[in-house]
Amino acid sequence: MQYGRIPSVGVAEVPPEGLLLDVREDDEWAAGHAEEALHVPMSEFVERFGEVTEKAADRRVYVVCRVGGRSAQVTRYLLGQGIDAVNVDGGMLAWEAAGKPLVNDGQGPAHVA
């Protein structure tokens, strides 16, 4: 397993065709998320790992959380499983600050919680 720095990219480097994996919890997701993201909360990650591998196929996985701590842990796990993954620096707060689109479950304006 890799213990050094994990690979990371800024939000501007996440391509539209990339697999964006949001590992925030359900309440954070409901407040605001990227429309195309796959949502697998970190607390459910191990039991739902198959969903990620199915979607990842031969694509790089861009892992995001609120700030970057949880996503860094998940990125490290994915790399250990042989999956091409990178952490998204600054998380969804950086996504929102960069003006990237957010959607929610219809409860007022989408925002990062």
Q: What percent of the chain has pLDDT over 70?
A: 96
CA 59, 96, 22, 30 torsion-angle sign:
negative
Task: Tell me the C-alpha distance between 67 and 10, whole Å.
Answer: 12
Given this model, what pLDDT does residue 107 score?
72
Which pLDDT score is estimated for 1?
Answer: 42
Report pTM.
0.94
Pairwise CA distance, residues 72 & 93, whole Å: 15
Q: What is the pLDDT of residue 4?
A: 67
The residues that are catalytic are 65
pLDDT band at 106 (very low <50, low <70, confident <90, very high): confident
Sequence-ordered list of residues with C-beta below 8 angstroms from that of 65, at least 6 positions apart, any chain: 22, 23, 24, 42, 71, 74, 91, 92
CB 81 within 8 A of CB 105: no
